[in-house]
């Protein structure tokens, strides 16, 4: 396959960036999207032009490190991570536009790499269960109903990629937040801190500059782990309850 | 031999007769674990926890701990040590600790809970692990691991890890390769992710509490030794390029494994050996580097462009049946059109007792031999053999779920393995619910790593090593679901108890940034980076990495020979020269520069690769993940030589142009008797 790539190049956080056009040929449909970029980088290196910086690590769709807006969509046209997107989703002759995540709360570091540390700070604000090591009760002493445990698991699969934020016209991280609130809130172990957690996490979310949720649903449509939109309802419900409790 | 404590050694100390690696190494003094406990095995860890001195809570605040790596081992250690009140700093190269490679683990984590009442116990888990490791692990460490396993599950459940559950709300488990009891806890095919998120959240809680300081996108490039003790590290801020020194009372490396030395592996792209290798060059011994685990159930290679291989969890072997067509001419046929009688379920045929659940090394080699014999399936790929001759081979065998689907229904299979099936479909473009998957072995895990004593302290005082980065618990072969267990046992339960014994002597004399040793370490790093930037050659770091990978896989992969290994050592030495004269790194060192990051990792892999080949050459026996063609039984099974090699090979750095020095730590068994392995 032969492709034309329009890629956002930006030297560092403070420089201005711009789209630059490259062509690559000899791309196999079995390549992953990132392997296609590896190929481009190898060619750039040969020509003496600095390779394009992009984030990635596991290349298995599980670490959440890869990002990229591909033709205006987070992770591209399929519902998956960028590393699991394969070139068979494109045709020879296509022009592909590749940009970094778009969101003020994820500032650009270089080229396609952005800073997602706001997510860590949201977790620090309450996205955990306080269980000191060594003081845990016997695991089976607290049964967890299977349907609740299943739901907890299904939303705990969020990989923290930030695609939901990049997809949202408001730059809201509500899907990410809702996934964590729901994961911990569905389990018996998560009950004691349930309502302080939601207040603290929403507070941090807003403090980081993420926008409010207006129920557009782009986040869930773009989420590679198919986190359902109703986690945001659960988030709102828990938040309401917390308010009623005066928290 | 009988010990004073009443225990008796069940094995004879080894005496090596062969010397295949003569000329490639020098022999150093024998090594013993100076803090190995004795007495009845079930009491050793309990007693040690009691004997180790305490650090009073008011003093803990004054003690600084550096932890490099925030995977399961490092994350768990940071959470626990932070909670205990020490002043902890953590480092990782990703943008968030939640992305450590541990996140990719799929299958599960073992624990001797005996929830199924199927005869499991601490002792059985201990026994299975030592046997599975082909008697090349330390009995003391493995027993402790088995003992702590049950606590790990309790801890993780309390943190909200959503393990699979039965209808009654209790925890579910399944069985895993090489084992006949159901002791594996899992969260669908994403166990590593869920466990890591648990450890990460526990650690972030400490960040909020102010006991843990977290440095992301920071790569450790050197350890700082003062008076022979590890007192800090040198890092590069991967965003600004700033070289910084961080000082502490004790340093922990939890930096994962070095499987990427093979270029193609199931490891994350950034997984590297740099932290361990830099420590090795400063005096930390590297133990059993040649022990590499090859995993049987990966998606086969499709072409030269490939950057990594993807594992399909081993749990698939519980329900999937592995076969190849009896007649090579059937390779191109749709597998569904090949009738039962024309299929060879080779694992079930050769190993009727374990069938498709034989240990990984056996399953892997069996698949390789089928393909070597021309019975493989999938696309023909080009290969170059040891004599430089090209040939076309099919590298794949079928993993068939037809029977499982008829037994459990498609939904039943979906519930168990859904995300794995999706991943397979995504990568290959084929639907595994309809047609059998194709699998082939790939490099997956390394059992070798920095040598540590029972307290997880390396041969450098004050430098502790945890998780996959150390060598201690898996011997020559790791059983499934035991790496996660080791990482968490080390992090949550072992280090917090052993580091306090070390820290009870602290706080140590304060040192500052201007100390000559600190300045020297920092200068070393700066000069090295400058050297990478100014070679001005023609080849990318990646191209050297790929070439190294081909050499390692061909000569130090699933099967090794004396001639092949010697050839590989020559090739690697040439590659190293080429690297230093022909590397090209563009851009500058004072911004994010991924080519520069790779260059540093690749040269460390090249040096490690040479040592792996020397270690493999020395060990003229086959055991676990190390298969020396010269040492096999008449029917092609691995043949160990306990009389010669029942030792840990701990290598000391011999200087820039010197030979590595081999220290042997004899393995002592008192609670277990060595047996020849048989899975037939
Ligand atoms: C695909 C796959 C599936 C697996 N499945 C299973 C399974 O089902 N069960 C099981 O028990 N095991 C499994 N394993 C093995 C297991 O996942 C790993 O052995 C284990 O997670 C390693 O954990 P760790 O904490 O030692 O290291 P890692 O999780 O690899 O963490 C390494 C850490 O070190 C940091 N680091 C490394 N170098 C540096 C440096 N120079 N400077 C700064 N930071 C650095 C990284 O940023 C990271 O934080 C699997 C492995 C793979 C590849
Ligand atoms: S909710 Fe989905 S899109 Fe958002 S961070 Fe999690 S996995 Fe990514
Ligand atoms: S690189 Fe890990 S999810 Fe894509």
Q: Give the pLDDT confidence score for residue B107 in this predicted structure.
A: 84
B126: closest CA of chain A, how far (Å):
21
Q: Give the pLDDT confidence score for residue B676 in this predicted structure.
A: 79
Does residue A129 surpass a pLDDT of 70? Answer: yes
Among A38-42, B64-68, B172-176, B613-617, the least confident range: B172-176
Contact B312, B400 (CB under 8 A): no
For B54-80, what is each residue's pLDDT tens digit? 999 999 999 999 999 999 999 999 999
For residue A14, what are the contacts with CB-CB under 8 A and spacing of at least 6? none
Nearest chain A residue (CA) to B302: A30
Does residue A192 surpass a pLDDT of 80? Answer: yes
Q: What is the mean pLDDT of residues B81-87?
A: 98
Q: Which atom of ligand 3 is nearest to the CA of A83?
A: 4
Closest residue by CA, ligand 2 atom 8: A161
A141: closest CA of chain B, how far (Å):
9
Q: Give the pLDDT confidence score for residue B6 in this predicted structure.
A: 73
pTM here is: 0.97
Does residue B304 surpass a pLDDT of 90? Answer: no
Taking the C-alpha atoms of residue B617 and residue B639, their distance in angstroms, rounded to an integer, is: 15
Q: What is the mean pLDDT of residues B647-671?
A: 96
- Taking the Cβ of residue A201 and every Cβ of chain B, the question of whether any pair is shorter than 8 Å is answered with no
> Nearest Cα to B400, choosing from B424, B381, B382, B380?
B424
For A68-79, what is each residue's pLDDT tens digit? 999 999 999 999
Q: Measured between alpha carbons, how far apart are the two ends of chain B, in Å?
A: 32
Using CB atoms, pick whichever of B103, B194, B586 lies closest to residue A45.
B586
Q: What is the mean pLDDT of chain B?
A: 94
Does residue B4 surpass a pLDDT of 80? Answer: no
In chain B, residues with a C-beta closer than 8 Å to the C-beta of A62 are 103-104, 190, 192-193
Taking the C-alpha atoms of residue A195 and residue A184, their distance in angstroms, rounded to an integer, is: 11
Q: Give the pLDDT confidence score for residue B389 in this predicted structure.
A: 81
Q: Give the pLDDT confidence score for residue B178 in this predicted structure.
A: 58
**Could you give the C-alpha distances from A240 to A149, A237, B13, B199, in angstroms and in order?**
23, 5, 69, 29
For B128-139, what is each residue's pLDDT tens digit? 999 999 999 999
For B451-462, what is each residue's pLDDT tens digit? 999 999 999 999
Does residue B418 surpass a pLDDT of 80? Answer: no
Using CB atoms, pick whichever of B100, B158, B586 lies closest to residue A51.
B586
Residues A120, B595: C-beta atoms closer than 8 Å:
no
Does residue B1 surpass a pLDDT of 70? Answer: no
Annotate A144-177 with DSSP letters as a single string: --HHHHHHHHHHHT-----HHHHH-TT---HHHH
For B498-533, what is each residue's pLDDT tens digit? 999 999 998 899 999 999 999 999 999 999 999 999
Q: Give the pLDDT confidence score for residue B314 in this predicted structure.
A: 79
Q: CA A165, A170, A173: angle at the middle one, nearest 5?
A: 35
**Could you give the C-alpha distances from A27 to A8, A34, A35, B429, B612, in angstroms and in order?**
20, 11, 9, 16, 35
Does residue A218 surpass a pLDDT of 90? Answer: yes
Map tokens 């691995």 to a residue.
B638
A-interface mutation test, from B75, B154, B272, B444, most A Cβ less than 10 A away: B154
Q: Give the pLDDT confidence score for residue B391 in this predicted structure.
A: 85
Confidence of residue B386 (pLDDT cuts 50, 70, 90): low
> What was the ipTM of the complex prediction?
0.98
Taking the C-alpha atoms of residue A159 and residue B194, their distance in angstroms, rounded to an integer, is: 10
Nearest chain B residue (CA) to A155: B162
Q: Give the pLDDT confidence score for residue B594 in this predicted structure.
A: 98
**β-strands B449-450, B437-446: how paired?**
unpaired
Distance A155 CA to ligand 2 centre (A): 10
Does any ligand 2 atom lie closer than 6 A to the CB of residue A103? no
- Taking the Cβ of residue A43 and every Cβ of chain B, the question of whether any pair is shorter than 8 Å is answered with no
Contact A129, B158 (CB under 8 A): yes
Residues of B carrying an active site annotation: 360
Q: Give the pLDDT confidence score for residue B50 in this predicted structure.
A: 97
Q: How does B160-171 read in b/e, with b if 16+ C-beta sit within 10 Å?
A: bbbbbbeeebeb
Instruction: Give me the percent of chain B exceeding a pLDDT of 90.
Output: 85
CA B53 vs. chain centroid, Å, equals 31
Instruction: Give me the percent of chain B exceeding a pLDDT of 70.
Output: 98
Interface of A with B in 211-230 (CB under 8 A): none
Taking the C-alpha atoms of residue B206 and residue B203, their distance in angstroms, rounded to an integer, is: 5
Taking the C-alpha atoms of residue B217 and residue B96, their distance in angstroms, rounded to an integer, is: 8
Q: Which atom of ligand 2 is nearest to the CA of A167?
A: 3
Q: Give the pLDDT confidence score for residue B313 in this predicted structure.
A: 80
Contact B216, B141 (CB under 8 A): no
Contact B339, B390 (CB under 8 A): no
Q: What is the mean pLDDT of residues B388-411?
A: 91
């Amino acid at each position: 396959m032969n492709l034309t790539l329009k890629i956002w190049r930006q030297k560092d956080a403070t420089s201005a960036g711009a789209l630059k056009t490259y062509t690559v040929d000899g791309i196999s449909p079995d390549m992953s999207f990132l392997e296609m970029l590896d190929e481009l980088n190898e060619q750039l290196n040969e020509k003496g032009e600095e390779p394009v910086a992009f984030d990635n690590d596991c290349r298995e769709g599980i670490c959440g490190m890869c990002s990229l807006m591909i033709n205006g969509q987070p992770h591209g046209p399929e519902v998956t991570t960028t590393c699991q997107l394969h070139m068979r989703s494109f045709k020879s002759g296509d022009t592909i536009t590749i940009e970094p995540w778009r969101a003020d709360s994820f500032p650009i570091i270089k080229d396609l790499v952005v800073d997602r540390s706001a997510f860590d700070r949201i977790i620090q604000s309450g996205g955990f269960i306080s269980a000191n090591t060594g003081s845990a009760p016997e695991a089976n002493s607290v049964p967890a109903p299977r349907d609740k445990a299943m739901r907890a698991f299904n939303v705990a699969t969020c990989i923290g990629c930030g695609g939901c934020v990049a997809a949202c016209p408001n730059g809201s991280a509500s899907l990410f937040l809702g996934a964590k609130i729901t994961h911990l809130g569905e389990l018996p172990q998560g009950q004691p801190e349930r309502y302080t957690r939601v207040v603290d996490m929403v507070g941090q979310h807003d403090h980081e500059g993420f926008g409010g949720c207006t129920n557009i649903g782009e986040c869930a449509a773009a989420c590679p782990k198919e986190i359902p939109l109703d986690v945001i309802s659960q988030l709102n419900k828990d938040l309401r309850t917390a308010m009623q409790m005066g928290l | 031999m009988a010990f004073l404590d009443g225990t008796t050694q069940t094995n004879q100390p080894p005496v090596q007769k062969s010397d295949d690696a003569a000329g490639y190494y020098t022999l150093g003094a024998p090594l013993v674990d100076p803090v190995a406990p004795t007495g009845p095995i079930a009491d050793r860890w309990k007693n040690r926890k009691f004997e180790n001195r305490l650090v009073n809570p008011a003093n803990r605040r004054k003690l600084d701990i550096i932890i490099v790596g925030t995977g399961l081992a490092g994350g768990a250690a940071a959470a626990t040590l932070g909670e205990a009140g020490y002043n902890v700093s953590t480092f990782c190269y990703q943008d968030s600790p939640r992305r450590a490679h541990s996140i990719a683990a799929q299958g599960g984590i073992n624990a001797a809970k005996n929830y199924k009442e199927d005869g499991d116990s601490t002792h059985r888990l201990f026994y299975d692990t030592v046997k599975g490791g082909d008697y090349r692990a330390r009995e003391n460490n493995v027993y402790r691991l088995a003992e702590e396993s049950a606590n790990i599950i309790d801890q993780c459940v309390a943190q909200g890890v959503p393990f699979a559950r039965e209808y009654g709300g209790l925890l579910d488990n399944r069985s895993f390769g090489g084992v006949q009891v159901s002791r594996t806890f899992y969260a669908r095919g994403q166990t590593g992710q869920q466990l890591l998120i648990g450890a990460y959240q526990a650690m972030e809680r400490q960040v909020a509490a102010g006991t843990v300081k977290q440095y992301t996108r920071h790569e450790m490039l050197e350890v700082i030794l003062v008076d022979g003790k590890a007192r800090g590290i040198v890092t590069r801020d991967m965003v600004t390029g700033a070289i910084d020194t961080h000082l502490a009372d004790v340093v922990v490396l939890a930096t994962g494994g070095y499987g990427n030395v093979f270029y193609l592996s199931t490891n994350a792209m950034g997984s590297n050996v740099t932290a361990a290798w830099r420590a090795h060059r400063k005096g930390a011994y590297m133990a059993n580097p040649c022990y590499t685990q090859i995993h049987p159930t990966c998606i086969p290679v499709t072409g030269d462009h490939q950057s990594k291989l993807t594992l399909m969890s081993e749990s698939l072997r519980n329900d999937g049946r592995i076969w190849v067509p009896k007649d090579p001419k059937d390779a191109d046929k749709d597998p569904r059109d090949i009738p039962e009688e024309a299929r060879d379920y080779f694992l079930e045929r050769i190993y009727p007792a374990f069938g498709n659940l034989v240990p990984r090394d056996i399953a892997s080699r069996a698949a390789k031999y089928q393909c070597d014999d021309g019975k493989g399936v999938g696309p023909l790929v080009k290969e170059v053999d040891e004599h430089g001759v090209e040939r076309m081979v099919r590298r794949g065998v079928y993993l068939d779920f037809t029977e499982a689907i008829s037994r459990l229904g498609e939904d039943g299979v979906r519930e168990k393995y859904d995300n794995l099936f999706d991943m397979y479909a995504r990568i290959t473009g084929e639907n595994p619910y309809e047609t059998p998957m194709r699998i082939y072995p790939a490099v997956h895990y390394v059992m070798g790593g920095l040598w540590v004593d029972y307290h997880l302290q390396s041969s450098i005082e004050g430098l502790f090593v945890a998780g996959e980065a150390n060598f201690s618990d898996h011997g020559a072969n790791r059983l499934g679901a035991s790496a996660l267990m080791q990482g968490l046992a080390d992090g949550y339960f072992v280090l917090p108890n052993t580091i306090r014994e070390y820290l009870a002597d602290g706080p140590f004399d304060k040192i500052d940034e201007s100390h000559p040793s600190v300045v020297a370490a920092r200068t070393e790093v700066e000069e090295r980076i400058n050297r990478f930037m100014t070679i001005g050659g023609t080849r990318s770091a990646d191209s050297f990495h790929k070439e190294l990978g081909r050499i390692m896989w061909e000569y130090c992969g699933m099967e090794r020979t004396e001639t092949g290994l010697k050839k590989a050592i020559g090739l690697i030495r040439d590659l190293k020269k080429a690297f230093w004269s022909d590397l090209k790194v563009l851009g500058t060192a004072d911004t994010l520069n991924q080519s520069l990051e790779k260059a540093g990792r690749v040269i460390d892999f090249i040096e490690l690769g040479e040592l792996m080949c020397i270690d493999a050459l020395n060990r003229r026996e086959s055991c676990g993940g190390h298969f020396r063609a010269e040492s096999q039984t008449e029917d092609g099974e691995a043949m160990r030589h306990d009389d010669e090699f029942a030792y840990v090979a701990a290598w000391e750095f011999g200087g820039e142009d010197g030979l590595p020095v081999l220290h042997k730590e004899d393995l002592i068994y008192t609670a277990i008797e060595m047996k020849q392995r048989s899975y037939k």
